[in-house]
Amino acid sequence: MPKLSQWMFACVLMTFASLAFAADKINLLIIDGQHNHAWAKTTEAIKEMMIKTDRFNVEVATLKNKQESEAFKPDFTKYQVVLMNYHGSAFSEETQKAFEKFVQDGGGLAFYHAAVFSFAKWDNWNKMMGLGWRDNKFGDRISIDDAGKIVRTPKGEGPGGSHGPAHEFQVITREKDHPITKGLPEKWSHVKDELYHGQRGPAENMEILAISPSLKEKGGTGTNEPMVWAIPVGKGRVFVSLLGHDVPAISDPNAALILMRGCEWAATGAVTIPVK
């Protein structure tokens, strides 16, 4: 074979190999817009960290107003996981049903920080999310006592969704063998962030992966609050992380790692992104 032909053949093989590798990546859709956090900046930081893993193809859908939200009709089947950085206007009923079917049929859904404010009137959404930022009349509250026991507080009792002043706080890995948290430190100090407490919801089938002590002297509840959890939904998987109010908070190494690994797990049920 002439040298030029050999070179061209090698290029073709490399091209096919590159295409095959790209096809093996997880297609991730980030939905953002319409909330009181710096969503454009955090989305950009999250997109960059996901791409750097070489595990994701990332697209972003930004919904700037009610009209765009109501007209939003993506083909969810193009993606393996959807990451929510959004709590704006409601989707159409058609899109809600398509989203529910996407997850039930095996798609992944990930909630990042303030996304737990979203869609309070969407019953199946609340079931998929488990807990969200709601008042204390909405549903049960989940906390964890110092012995590691889950405490369920019924609606109407105790606090609703809130947080004290942003501060550094401890995160405790509660489930050491789950693919998302396996290999993470048992305890680690998280940078200045909002520590959400009093989240409310159906709280069904939750596997609470990480918790944080919510200290009263920091405006907290005096008990341990869920920070990271996972929920099976049909053939799909839902992952929630309350960490990451702003770019420095979501760029904290362990918070970033949890988000990246959580999205991979939601998409595939397994995790290959290493703990460094």
Side-chain-facing half-sphere of 214: CA atoms under 13 Å? 26
Q: Is residue 85 a part of any domain in this protein?
A: yes
DSSP string over the chain? --HHHHHHHHHHHHHHHHHHHHHTSEEEEEEEESSSS-HHHHHHHHHHHHHHTTSEEEEEEE--SHHHHHH----GGG-SEEEEEE--SPPPHHHHHHHHHHHHTT-EEEEEGGGGGS-TT-HHHHHHH-SBS--TTSSEEEEE-TTS-EEEE-TTSS--SEE-S-EEEEEEES-TTSTTTTTS-SEEEEEEE--EE--EE---S-EEEEEEEE-GGGTS-SEEEEEEEEEEETTEEEEEE---SSHHHHHSHHHHHHHHHHHHHHHHS---SPP-
Residues 6 or more apart whose CB falls under 8 angstroms from that of 190 comprise 168, 169, 170, 171, 212, 243, 249, 252, 254, 255
Token pair of 170 as six digits:
């401890």
H/E segment holding residue 198:
none
* CATH assignment of the domain containing 128: 3.40.50.880
Residue 162 lies in a domain: no
* Residue 45 is assigned to a structural domain of this protein: yes
In a domain, 49, yes or no: yes
Number of domains forming the structure of the chain: 1
Q: What is the pLDDT along the chain (276 residues), one digit of tens a residue?
A: 444 333 333 333 333 333 333 448 999 999 999 988 999 999 999 999 999 999 999 999 999 999 999 999 999 999 999 999 999 999 999 999 999 999 999 999 999 999 999 999 999 999 999 999 999 999 999 999 999 999 999 999 999 999 999 999 999 999 999 999 999 999 999 999 999 999 999 999 999 999 999 999 999 999 999 999 999 999 999 999 999 999 999 999 999 999 999 999 999 999 999 998
Residue with tokens 């807990």: 131
Looking at the domain assignment, is residue 20 inside a domain?
yes
Residue found by looking up tokens 């690994």 in the block: 261
pTM: predicted TM-score of the whole model, two decimal places: 0.90
Task: For 123, list phi and psi in degrees, rounded to 5.
Answer: -60, -50
What CA–CA distance (Å, rounded) separates 204 from 26? Answer: 27
Is 219 domain-assigned?
A: no
In a domain, 184, yes or no: no
In a domain, 54, yes or no: yes
Closest CA to 63 of 84, 46, 81: 84
Look up the domain containing 94 and give its range. 3-135+202-209+226-268
